[in-house]
Amino acid sequence: MRGLLPVDAFRNAFPYRFLPFQFMRWSDKEYLLTNIVGESCFLQASDFTSFVQKTLSDSSCAYKELKSKHFLLDSDSKLPIELLATKYRTKKAFMEGFTRLHLFILTLRCDHSCHYCAASSVPANQSGYDMNQETAKRAVDLMLCCPSNSLKVEFQGGEPLLNIDTMRFICEYSKDKAAGEKQLEYVVCTNLASLTKEKLDYIKQHSILVSTSFDGPRFIHDGNRCFCGGSSYDISVKNIKTVMNELGKNRISALMTASALSIKHPQEIVDEYVKIGFESIFLRSIRPYGRSRTLESQYSASEYLEFYRKALEHIIELNRQGIHIVEGFAQILLEKILTPFAAGFVDLQSPTGSGMSFVAYNYDGNVYASDEARMLAKMGDETFRMGSVYTNSYSDIFGGSTIRALVDNSCVEVIPGCSECAFQVYCGADPIHNYTTQGDIIGHRPTSDFCQQNKEIIRLLFEYLNSGDDFIRDLFLSWVSPRYSMGEA
Ligand code: SF4
Ligand code: SF4
């Protein structure tokens, strides 16, 4: 068309050009438009029709909003494109520095036997399941080959505090070897049952963040989490309070895993978090690995979403009453929706975070693309094993066929179903989940629980943002600036 008309005639006929965007019909009256840098815009149906027909008046509010948010271009200036490119680089900045989060599976032993355990833990007295110092040393050496100047070390299990000697070794060896050239942050993911004063002193001395599991009221927590030494609830509450007092509330965060029992009690769970003194809660559904595999069918994705919706509604109401509490998953999505940043949450990235942004060193020296990949391996499927600290080099592991296949098949920009989705920029791909639940790493969106869950939660957040309730908009903005919790590990 452009070749057939003189430039001025072209401009008169088509006064603006489209920049890349997705859209969806929001209701009979409105459309939601989003773009590659995370900007969003609700348009009246009539304005949307005018916009796509290139007849939208440049004096209208809709036009000005679309222009300012990079949905259209109406000049030959390169500046808007350069600005869009800068914003795009910011949105994809999680790829800079490559793999930043390194999970060390210190042991599979655990003093709990939670019925939803995805890690396939073994009893605390079993031998042969601890990471030894030679394996730890080799894993740290590999980690320090990663180009990023800022690395996060996460101690996982089983129960990592049962192998505190290797945890100490990793902290001290990695600090010595990095020699100040890399910034190292440490997190221990622990049920806290084996916490002692000596262990806590070490955690404090080395500024290690604590991430724990807490499922809410006693009848739910003890129902989900079986502890060989008595009530898991009692020991968790006691030690959570000790950590809060000794390290500060901002040094401990908690995850809640929703069982079939949990999803009947959203308000009670949130209230228990408030009672204990938490200012954030991270809600998540059961993962389809380990002992959880058989529990997955205990509730549907729709039932989980109903639980999530009620919990979030309650959290908003508590905030209205002046009680400060944040929901962690919503906070991550809101950071993607309301800020130029990517939130750094490895489970929602394109390409996938598995291998790219995080990696798991198993207790036996095998290296997996993610925590879930090593869980799958414990179930007998080694598909996402990237190599071994004993037999493979950094380039074998981080440039090998496993990571290449994961990246190739995990860009939402081109995946069938995701490529046209208006929520694509806020979502991500999880090829290991697709493989586990659907037998295919690309997966099938219409029957994917991962897709259903993300789509409905993102939609829910947009519903709140579009509701005209200023309190909710201000609350959500306060959750993302500044961020209140440690969140994404
Ligand atoms: S979920 Fe955690 S605390 Fe529970 S058995 Fe598994 S590793 Fe242990
Ligand atoms: S997984 Fe679903 S919600 Fe996420 S981008 Fe793909 S289609 Fe959209």
Instruction: Give, for ligand 2, the residue of 427, 447, 460 to mutate: max count of ligand atoms closer than 8 Å to Cβ.
Output: 427
Edge-to-edge, what's the strand order for the sheet holding 358-361? 326-327, 280-285, 252-258, 209-213, 183-189, 150-156, 101-105, 358-361, 366-368, 385-388
Closest ligand 2 atom to residue 458 Cα is 3
Q: Is the predicted pLDDT of residue 10 greater than 60, yes or no?
A: no
Stretch 127-156: mean pLDDT? 97
- Interval 290-313: pLDDT, tens: 877 765 568 999 999 999 999 999
**What residue type is assigned to position 231 of the chain?**
S
Q: Quote the CA–CA distance of 12 and 2 in Å, as a whole number.
A: 12
How far apart are alpha carbons 210 and 230 in whole angstroms? 22
The mean pLDDT value for 316-337 works out to 97
**Residue minimizing CA distance to atom 3 of ligand 2:** 455
**What pLDDT band is residue 482 in, cutting at 50, 70 and 90?**
low
Cβ neighbours of residue 208 under 8 Å, at least 6 residues apart?
Answer: 171, 186, 187, 188, 202
Ligand nearest to the CA of 193: 1
The whole-number pLDDT of residue 469 equals: 98
Smallest CA separation from ligand 1 atom 6, residue: 117
484: confidence class by pLDDT, cuts 50, 70, 90: very low
Q: Is the CB of 412 under 6 A from ligand 2?
A: yes
Residue 337 Cβ contacting ligand 2 at under 6 Å: no
Q: Which of 129, 163, 225 to mutate to test the pocket of ligand 1 (most atoms within 8 A of CB)?
A: 225
SS (H, E, C) 357-416: CEEEECCCCEEECCHHHHHHHHCCCCCCEEEECCCCCHHHHHCCHHHHHHHHCCCCCCCC
Residue 142, pLDDT above cutoff 80: yes
- In what helix (H) or strand (E) does residue 209 lie, and over which residues does it extend? strand 209-213
Question: Which ligand neighbours the alpha carbon of 419 most closely?
Answer: 2
Torsions phi, psi for 200 (to 5 deg): -65, -40
* CA distances from residue 129 to 120, 185, 376 in whole angstroms, order as listed: 11, 25, 16
Q: Token pair 């939609």 is at which residue? A: 459
For residues 363 and 155, what is the distance between their CA atoms, to the nearest angstrom? 11
Q: State the distance from the centre of ligand 1 to the C-alpha of 143, rounded, in angstroms.
A: 26
Residue 483 has pLDDT above 60, yes or no: no
Residue nearest to atom 7 of ligand 1 (CA): 158
Model confidence at 371, in pLDDT bands (50, 70, 90)?
very high
pLDDT at residue 1 tops 80: no
Q: Is the peptide bond before 351 cis (omega within 30 degrees of 0)?
A: yes
Beta bridge partners of 24: 32
- Residue closest by Cα to atom 2 of ligand 2: 451
Ligand 2 in contact with 427 (CB < 6 A)? Answer: yes
| pLDDT tens by residue, 221-230 | 999 999 989 9
Cβ-proximal residues to 310 (8 Å cutoff; 6+ apart), any chain: 266, 267
Give the pLDDT of residue 34. 98
pLDDT single digits (tens) 396-446: 999 999 999 999 999 999 999 999 999 999 999 999 999 999 999 999 999
Give the percent of the chain with pLDDT over 90.
89
* pLDDT for the residue numbered 488: 34
Ligand 2 site, residue 194, Cβ cutoff 6 A? no
Residue 15: which pLDDT band, with cuts at 50, 70 and 90? confident
| Residue 210 confidence (pLDDT) | 98
Mutate to test the pocket of ligand 2, among 445, 452, 460 (most ligand atoms within 8 A of CB): 445
List beta partners, residue 257: 284
pLDDT per position as a tens digit, 194-219? 999 999 999 999 999 999 999 999 99
- What value does the CA radius of gyration of the chain take, rounded to a whole number of Å? 24
Q: What is the pLDDT of residues 40-97, one digit of tens each?
A: 999 999 999 999 999 999 999 999 999 999 999 999 899 999 999 999 999 999 998 8
* More confidently predicted of 120 and 173: 173
Binding-site residues, ligand 1, Cβ < 6 A: 110, 112-114, 117, 119, 121, 157-159, 191, 225
Distance 231 CA to ligand 1 centre (A): 14
Ligand nearest to the CA of 371: 1
Mean pLDDT of 155-172: 98
More confident residue, 12 or 289: 289
pLDDT for 3 beyond 60? no
What's the pLDDT at 275?
Answer: 98
- What is the best residue among 437, 455, 460, 461 to mutate for testing ligand 2's pocket, by most ligand atoms within 8 Å of CB? 455
Q: Is 306 exposed, middle or buried (0-12, 13-18, 19+ CB in 10 A)?
A: middle
> What's the pLDDT at 2?
40
Residue 461 CA to ligand 2 center (angstroms) comes to 15
Per-residue pLDDT at 486 exceeds 90: no
Q: Tell me what pLDDT residue 294 has.
A: 67
- Please name which of 105, 106, 109, 104 lies closest in space to residue 127, comparing C-alpha atoms: 109
One DSSP character per residue, 402-455 reads HHHHHHHT--TTTSTTTTT-TTGGG----HHHHHHHHSSSS--GGG-HHHHHHH
pLDDT of residue 292: 74
Task: Examine the pLDDT at 489 and tell me if it is beyond 50.
Answer: no
Instruction: Give the number of whichever ligand sits closest to the CA of residue 448.
Output: 2
Q: What is the pLDDT, as a whole number, of residue 291?
A: 78
pLDDT-based confidence at 344, cuts 50/70/90?
confident
